[in-house]
A and B are shown apart, each in its own frame.
Chain A
Amino acid sequence: KAGVTQTPRYLIKTRGQQVTLSCSPISGHRSVSWYQQTPGQGLQFLFEYFSETQRNKGNFPGRFSGRQFSNSRSEMNVSTLELGDSALYLCASSSESGTIYFGEGSWLTVV
């Protein structure tokens, strides 16, 4: 069974640009959540989608948004990138049992 797949793995963007990250959950998992990991703040919850609806949201500005498609795949978007947005962005999927599995992450560097 394939795990959580995230693309791209690495990317470099310039301040002011926008970026879209993609996530394919484990087959059969309907919940997809996103996390940001930085050295200073650790792992922080961004938002969760379930059946194409945002179910929970963390404390991030509106520049961070996401969506989920009917096949449970999800994308997150960050607009007007800032240097502080440089981080590892992790996608996770969970089944009804509640165990949450993470992908390898997308490393974003903003220059």
Chain B
Amino acid sequence: DVKVTQSSRYLVKRTGEKVFLECVQDMDHENMFWYRQDPGLGLRLIYFSYDVKMKEKGDIPEGYSVSREKKERFSLILESASTNQTSMYLCASTNLGLVAYNEQFFGPGTRLTVL
């Protein structure tokens, strides 16, 4: 089974802190995604990556950056956390290919609270 793990299930940080959210997948997927999920707003894409050292902005990249130094690991960085970044953060991965019809595999999520 594909496994996507995230470094923390719950995280509490203070305004202005630098926050690192880590995501690791074990199925050699090329594509990885960071979303945030908020009540009433659904799932929103922050950043995604098609390959190592490659990143693309999603719909809401402001206030975030990412790092993909290794294929299995995709990190989301909040340079200076703010209260409006309190949210559930979800990492996902997927692979393209003749048999991989684009189903995305999600991690368990990190519920981040910024005080």
**A and B co-occur in one complex:** no
Chain A interface residues toward B at CB < 8 A: none
